[in-house]
Amino acid sequence: MSGMNIQASDCLLIIDVQNDFCSAGSLAVPDAEAVLPLINEFIPQFDTVVMTQDWHPAGHSSFASSHPGKQAFETITLPYGEQTLWPDHCVQGSHGADFHPDLHTDGAQLIIRKGFRTAIDSYSAFYENDHSTTTGLTGYLQQRGIRRLFCVGLALDYCVRFSAVDARREGFDAVVLEKACRGIDLDGSNDTALAQMRDAGVVIAS
């Protein structure tokens, strides 16, 4: 974190560091556990820490198992647009939905649960995938006087990307700490995500 002058108006946004996205999980992100020591080191440096948690009901519309004949990682069209189909993951109340046991969750003031509506997926900490249904995070951050978000966690090319881009859309400065993120990298999606974030004015910090 050297070179980053952390202010009271900064927030650390820790995205989806949950068992199902780690090595033994149903939607494992390569090298996911590598982010844990870095994130744990960052937490005490921030006055405001927010965590997100994927929180799907069983039979969620983003699960390939909900669409007969479809396989995980295929793309379908749902009423709100294109949707990648995933293995069942982060089902409410399951071990897979729990935060990784090595993540220091005590430092968080707010946990945003997302993806809990059966008919719509939610990557971003700010909006569901229709880009209009909000999580309420913007109002919380504004009332806390937050101006800049530092984004870390899983997965770089999906939930981190959408959260960082939406942070800019909502008027916040956004920094993605790349070493504290890992991506799924479907067909080069990590590079695409980094380009899209930069285009949106997100700072990518190594």
Digit-coded pLDDT (tens) for 16-58: 999 999 999 999 999 999 999 999 999 999 999 999 999 999 9
Residue 4 has pLDDT above 90, yes or no: no
Question: Which entry of 10, 11, 16, 22 is annotated as an active-site residue?
Answer: 16
* pLDDT on residue 1: 55
Q: Is 159 a catalytic residue?
A: yes
pLDDT, tens digit (0-9, with 9 covering 90-100), for 65-85: 999 999 999 999 999 999 999
Question: Which entry of 11, 114, 121, 151 is annotated as an active-site residue?
Answer: 114
Angular region, 112: left φ>0, alpha ψ -120 to 50, beta rest: beta
8 Å CB contact between 56 and 63 = yes
pLDDT, tens digit (0-9, with 9 covering 90-100), for 143-184: 999 999 999 999 999 999 999 999 999 999 999 999 999 999
* pLDDT on residue 3: 59
Question: Which entry of 11, 159, 166, 181 is annotated as an active-site residue?
Answer: 159
Q: Is 179 a catalytic residue?
A: no
* pLDDT on residue 28: 97
* pLDDT on residue 73: 94
For the segment 10-19, the average pLDDT, to the nearest whole number, is 98
Q: Is 16 a catalytic residue?
A: yes
How many CB atoms lie under 10 A from the CB of residue 60? 24
Residue pointed to by tokens 């430092």? 107
* pLDDT on residue 107: 95
For the segment 7-20, the average pLDDT, to the nearest whole number, is 98
For the segment 88-101, the average pLDDT, to the nearest whole number, is 98
